[in-house]
Homo-oligomer: A and B are copies of this chain.
């Protein structure tokens, strides 16, 4: 058990290493939602998503010299960069059909890419193989990990400090790393703001879990456009926090996710990835709930394939 002082020092070190979130106001987004909306954008976080908060926290605290993670997306880039800053090696297990641009991004941030033929070997299997090959290495989960949640809690602290008197914050939910961290950060700062999750309707295991009072697992990886929310289920550590800490999880259709990405681009000049559009999508789809309130929508990241992005923002 870490002492309170150690925890405080650790969180200070994380905050010194990360970029503060970007707070954006747009009268035209307010008009769209019918509420006062503050956008808290993690698209300008190092490596382009909130995952750097988590990855840096995990890398900094890990005694291992080598970190292994399975990720085809933002956590891979974030852990690669965090490892390079903390003089560690990162091995990122990615499916062999990953987009070249994603493989390239991991390499550019200093990570070692292990491509795996997912038809033959699962990513989890390959991670286990690598872990036994490198006994000095630590396997890091992108969400079900105390240091990951602690890293993400810095966003809650920041919002409590600088975002003023808001009624609610809406945050994307995949494995629950960001939402659990946000809840912890707000609680530590004594901020009573309500936290809502936003989840793709196609990947609504979080909402089903809340309703069932236990973790519900998706049958397979949900094929939502919000690729950061394609998790099989909430993590155990995340569920323990969300179960009582989250007000509700709001479901968002694929169409509403794309609409939100388009609105962020056109009305607020913000480049968001589809997962980053979830919170605004939820605010618009459930606008009765937030009418005339003051809400924060967290845009979790901005890393998106250019062709996909242009298709989304280009169509009416």
Contact = CB atoms under 8 A, between A and B. Distances in A.
Nearest to A273: B269
Nearest to A105: B28
Contacts of A46: 25, 27
B307 A27 contact: no
Contacts of A44: 22, 24-26, 268-270
A22 B25 contact: no
Contacts of A26: 44
Q: Which range holds the interface residue count of chain A? A: 20 to 34
A231 to B, nearest CB: 23
Contacts of A271: 265, 269-271
Contacts of A270: 44, 271
A266 interface: yes
- Assembly of this chain: how many copies? 2
Given A22-B44, A25-B19, A266 B306 contact: yes
B27 A269 contact: no
A81 interface: yes
Given A265-B271, A269-B43, A28 B314 contact: no
A302 interface: yes
Contacts of A266: 306
Interface string A262-276: 000110111100000
20 contacts: A19-B25, A22-B44, A24-B44, A25-B46, A26-B44, A27-B46, A27-B81, A27-B109, A28-B108, A44-B268, A44-B269, A265-B306, A269-B271, A269-B302, A270-B271, A271-B271, A306-B313, A307-B314, A310-B310, A310-B313
Given A19-B24, A19-B25, 10 more contacts: A22-B22, A43-B269, A44-B268, A48-B269, A265-B306, A266-B306, A269-B271, A306-B314, A310-B310, A310-B313
